[in-house]
Amino acid sequence: MAILDILEFPDPRLRTVAQPVKEVDARVQKIVDDMFETMYDAPGIGLAATQVNIHERIITIDVSEDKSEPLVFINPEITVLDGELESMQEGCLSVPGFYEDVTRVEHCLVKALDRKGEAFELECRGLLAVCIQHEVDHLEGKLMVDYISPMKRNRIKSKLDKKHKIEARQGKR
């Protein structure tokens, strides 16, 4: 397994729309394993393949406190089960250090393939529902900063651009 580099906003590769996985094979399973290692190391509760510059529809999630409930969603499709909206403060591994309120559907159904390529459905509420919607957004080239005002988004972009320039001078990026 390997820890992968996480792309950070405003990297344009984060805007790439991910392609469906044609076959869940050993290559895809290795990507899943590397994504879990990267997500846990970051530390985060969700990671989309787009965030690690792999433009395939793969998501890893673990919203448990002890990292004991890993979930894999390959080619996920979300269906809204009720229109109740919930506003929750979200962070993002690709927008490090920033947290913003984002409003999402509180209850949804996800259809996907698991790590073995077997189809499953999962009804999601609360944090898991928010997390899966956040990660599916990544697969569509959308970021949490797209839900906030242009002024806030530009401020975050400026701060991260400055951070990236400093890291580049120090040889960290």
Residues annotated within a binding site for Fe cation: 92, 134, 138
Residues in the chain: 173
- 80 forms bridges with which residues in the sheet? 108
Q: Which of 90, 106, 135, 167 is catalytic?
A: 135
User: 100: how many CB neighbours lie within 10 A of its CB?
Assistant: 17
CA geometry: angle 89, 111, 128, nearest 5 deg: 20
How wide is the angle at C-alpha 40 spanned by C-alphas 35 and 45, nearest 5°? Answer: 90
**Angstrom distances, CA of residue 136 to CA of 8, 158, 164:** 17, 26, 26
Whether residue 135 lies in the annotated active site: yes
> Please, are residues 60 and 32 in contact by the beta-carbon 8 Å criterion?
yes
Q: Report the catalytic residues.
A: 135
